[in-house]
């Protein structure tokens, strides 16, 4: 009989206990840890309809977000990535092993390749190295390369070397929202335009160096020598290796490839190709001019050596007359004319000096001295 009131009391308290339990704060899940990009990541951003979104997310989170949105893509910029970083990037964006291996090395030739759903564009970078004077070890042009991986919702740029930084490219294209709204190929266009702009800029500096070199070679007091000219020629050859092969991929992009840039961007690529043609023409002209300067300097050296040989021959002729007189009168034969003459020694010296003076005046008049 005592148990029934106890049960009634628990039944009366049960709703209050449940309400109290529901009011107790529950343990929420720990906040997600924000992942940081590796040091090789220069920048990572999400673009929606041509406009950059705030923040700098981890590249994996950015790519996952871009795949869920419309007119959205992610731009990941890398500079000299380590193998582990590049392998992780490759797994995230679906790059094949061959592409990842290519991205780890520099010195590639400009090309346009297709690997599955990913397009690879390779261009050479170029930068002018300031110098006070040209020597036989001067570095005039610094080159590197940039690789652009293009997918449906991403673009990954991998840059090697100090030249050709893409920070200015990103700032410029972000101000052109209509162009950037075309997707990843808009980034490829911006990179191509920047590289060609650098080619023209470097070409202008090289032209100034060539003018100074030409003035030095044909000046009265020449200071340029063959090693200096040859060093500049080597630098221009390296520059040609960056500029000339870029014509093929840009020509292909300016055409009508089925898996290439959208139609709205092809005219922009055609404009870049036109600027590249100007750069190619200037570089080819500089190479021919440098060859002419080198040949002129070699001809000058041949003339200078010929003049030196004539001077040596003239002085040798003058010395030979002195040697002949001294040799004859140094024989000490008994019956020699003027051997016992009181003024014979002075007369011999006077004859030697007169002969040398006459020969010197004749050689000076003929231009040998």
Is beta strand 51-52 parallel, antiparallel or unpaired with respect to 118-128? unpaired
- For residue 8, being part of any structural domain is answered with no
| Rounded Cα gap, residues 76 and 155, in angstroms | 6
CA distances from 89 to 14, 45, 83, 347 (A): 57, 15, 10, 98
Boundary residue ending a domain (265, 297, 329): 297
Query: Residue 341: is it exposed, middle or buried by C-beta count within 10 angstroms (0-12/13-18/19+)?
Result: exposed
pLDDT band at 369 (very low <50, low <70, confident <90, very high): confident
Of 46-60, 97-111, 355-369, where does mean pLDDT reach its minimum? 355-369
Whole-number pLDDT of residue 110: 93
Span 146-154, average pLDDT: 93
- 113 and 52 in a common domain: yes
**What local confidence, expressed as pLDDT, does residue 201 receive?**
93
The pLDDT of residue 367: 75
Looking at the structure, do residues 253 and 306 belong to the same domain, yes or no?
Answer: no
Report d(CA 72, CA 90) in Å as an integer. 20
8 has pLDDT over 50: no
Structure confidence by residue, pLDDT tens digits, 338-356: 666 777 777 778 888 888 8
Determine, yes or no, domain membership for 19.
Answer: no
Q: How confident is the model at residue 2 (pLDDT cuts 50, 70, 90)?
A: very low
The pLDDT of residue 122: 94
Whether 131 and 67 share a structural domain:
yes
Q: Residue 318 maps to which CATH number? A: 1.20.58.340
pLDDT averaged over every residue in the chain: 82
Q: What is the CATH number of the domain that holds 101?
A: 3.30.460.20
**189 and 319 together in one domain:** no
Instruction: Specify the higher pLDDT residue, 116 or 150.
Output: 150
Residue 293 shares a structural domain with residue 355: no
Across 314-342, average pLDDT = 74
Give the residue from 262, 297, 332 where a domain finishes. 297
CB under 8 A, 24+ apart: contacts of 170-174: 170/43, 170/45, 170/75, 170/77, 174/52
Residues 271 and 319 in one domain: no
Q: pLDDT band at residue 31, thresholds of 50, 70 and 90?
A: very low
In whole angstroms, how far apart are CA 185 and each of 73, 82, 91, 191?
A: 11, 26, 22, 10
Note the pLDDT of residue 25. Answer: 44
Q: Are residues 143 and 46 in the same domain?
A: yes
- Structure confidence by residue, pLDDT tens digits, 241-297: 999 999 999 998 888 666 788 888 888 999 999 999 999 998 888 888 888 888 777
Cα separation, 207 vs 140, whole angstroms? 12
**Half-sphere exposure (Cβ direction) of 271: Cα atoms closer than 13 Å:** 10
- Give the number of domains in the chain: 2
Last residue within a domain, chosen from 249, 273, 297: 297
According to the model, what pLDDT value does residue 172 have? Answer: 92
Same domain for 176 and 241, yes or no, is: yes
| In the block, residue with structure tokens 């004319």 | 337
Same domain, yes or no: 185 and 284: yes
Per-residue pLDDT at 162? 81
Number of H helices, E strands in the chain: 11, 7
151 & 234 share domain: yes
Is residue 108 a contact partner of residue 147, using CB atoms and an 8 Å limit? yes
> What distances in angstroms separate CA 43 from CA 58, 99, 116, 319, 368, one per listed residue?
10, 21, 26, 78, 70
pLDDT (tens digit, 9 = 90+) per residue, 89-128?
999 999 989 889 989 988 889 999 988 889 999 999 999 9
Mean pLDDT value of segment 211-233: 75
More confidently predicted of 270 and 8:
270
Backbone angles phi, psi at 119, to 5 degrees: -105, 135
Q: What is the pTM of this model?
A: 0.73
Q: Is it the case that residue 299 has pLDDT exceeding 60?
A: yes
* Average confidence (pLDDT) over 297-315: 77
In a domain, 320, yes or no: yes
Query: Does the pLDDT of residue 197 top 90, yes or no?
Result: yes
Q: Give the pLDDT of residue 159.
A: 93
| Residues 270 and 235 placed together within one structural domain of the fold | yes
For residues 48 and 73, membership in a common domain is answered with yes
Higher pLDDT, 30 or 321: 321
Is residue 79 helix, strand or coil?
A: strand
Q: Give the closest residue to 128 by CA, choosing from 26, 47, 197, 29.
A: 197
The boundaries of the domain holding residue 319 are: 302-366
């Amino acid at each position: 009989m005592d148990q029934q009131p106890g049960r009634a009391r628990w039944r009366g308290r049960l709703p209050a206990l449940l309400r109290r339990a529901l009011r107790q704060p529950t343990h929420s899940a720990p906040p997600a840890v924000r992942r940081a990009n590796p040091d090789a990541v220069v920048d990572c951003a999400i673009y929606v309809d041509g406009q950059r979104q705030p923040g700098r997310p981890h590249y994996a989170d950015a790519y996952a977000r871009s795949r869920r949105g419309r007119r959205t893509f992610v731009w990941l910029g890398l500079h000299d990535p380590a193998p582990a970083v590049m392998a992780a990037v490759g797994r995230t964006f679906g790059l094949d092993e061959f592409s990842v291996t290519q991205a780890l090395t520099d010195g590639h030739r400009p090309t346009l390749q297709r690997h599955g759903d990913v397009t690879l564009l390779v261009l050479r970078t170029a930068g002018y190295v300031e110098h006070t004077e040209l020597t036989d070890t001067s570095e005039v042009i610094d080159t590197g390369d940039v690789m652009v991986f293009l997918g449906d919702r991403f673009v990954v740029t991998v840059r090697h070397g100090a030249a050709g930084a893409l920070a200015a490219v990103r700032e410029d294209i972000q101000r052109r929202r209509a162009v950037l709204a075309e997707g990843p190929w808009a980034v490829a266009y911006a990179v191509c335009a920047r590289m060609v702009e650098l080619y023209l800029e470097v070409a202008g500096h090289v032209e100034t160096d060539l003018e100074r070199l030409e003035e030095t070679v044909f000046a009265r007091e020449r200071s340029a020598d063959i090693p200096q000219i040859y060093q500049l020629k080597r630098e221009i050859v390296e520059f040609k290796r960056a500029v000339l092969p870029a014509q093929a991929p840009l020509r292909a992009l300016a055409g009508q490839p089925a898996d290439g840039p959208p139609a709205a961007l092809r005219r922009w690529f055609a404009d870049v190709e036109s600027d590249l043609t100007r750069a190619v023409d200037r570089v080819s002209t500089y190479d021919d001019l440098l060859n002419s300067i080198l040949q002129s300097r070699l001809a000058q050296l041949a003339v200078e050596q010929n003049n030196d040989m004539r001077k040596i021959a003239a002085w040798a002729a003058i010395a030979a007359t002195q040697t002949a007189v001294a040799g004859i009168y140094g024989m000490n034969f008994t019956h020699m004319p003027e051997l016992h003459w009181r003024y014979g020694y002075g007369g011999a010296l006077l004859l030697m000096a007169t002969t040398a003076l006459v020969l010197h005046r004749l050689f000076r008049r003929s231009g040998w001295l």
